[in-house]
Structure 1
């Protein structure tokens, strides 16, 4: 399946549709089961605080995956992502309440590269603070 977005139809500066993702404690438990990552910082509030965290935090790989969804939803093809990398700058703190936390994600085309690829720079925040740095994807377009 090829990306649905045509290389010639995008320009540097093109904004991808922004998304907001909600994460709560139940989401973390499901992710732990799927990933096998049962580190107690992701489910045990007492333990998380004992090790210096403000509360339970979302898995870094979960956060990274949610951010990548902005790109894959935009292209219509998860296989269009050629490269993806981030630096973790702050955790997504997930309180034990009905709201949980949100991850707000935006992206824009930062460069047009060779072979119908573009670099997408992504911004991810939670509670008004940047949670990923240097979040970038290289995507092959039609």
Structure 2
């Protein structure tokens, strides 16, 4: 894990460098087991296409979790996130061959009392925005 980010070292408007997360079908199967969400749109191509999807899609909560991972990795503390919310705008389509990529970046929007900051996240897959209104309140060292 990275060194903890210090509250005094960040300013509103500061960009958090983007990270790219690879997503493949094995990730989705493991997430299904952990979450208990075995909906076949997340692992069976024929079922996903039968309900009008272009292919298998990642669980929305899996996509959201990668945003949380991005923030905690940046902050350097897995317990740093105090509040986190998103809206799902598009699915992450995960083809069998090659999988998908999820690129997440962030920006410090605001500094609050108590060493807290508001971080706005941007998440895209294959050029498409997949999360909107993605914000986390993070306590920094």
TM-score with structure 1 length normalisation?
0.94
Q: Indicate if the aligned counterparts of 1:16 and 1:70 stay in contact, CA closer than 8 A.
A: no
Q: 1:121 aligned to 2:115?
A: no
Aligned-residue offset at 1:50: 1.1
Who is 1:64 aligned against? 64
Pairs aligned (count): 139
- Which consecutive residues of structure 2, in runs of 5 or more, have no partner in the other structure? none
**Which residue of the partner structure matches residue 38 of structure 1?**
38
| Unmatched segments (≥5 aa) in structure 1 | none
Q: Which residue of 2 aligns with 1:138?
A: 137
- After superposing on structure 2, the runs of 4+ consecutive aligned residues of structure 1 that deviate more than 4 Å are none
Aligned CA RMSD, in angstroms, stands at: 1.1
Query: Shift in Å at residue 8 of structure 1?
Result: 1.2
Q: Is the 8 A contact 1:19 1:70 kept in 2?
A: yes
Q: Tell me how far 1:114 sits from its aligned partner.
A: 1.6
Separation in structure 2 between the aligned mates of residue 74 and residue 15 of structure 1, nearest angstrom: 11
Report SS of the residue matched to 1:135.
strand
1:106 is aligned to 2:105: yes
**1:69, CA displacement in angstroms?**
1.3
**TM-score scaled by structure 2?**
0.95
Deviation of the 1:68 alpha carbon? 1.4
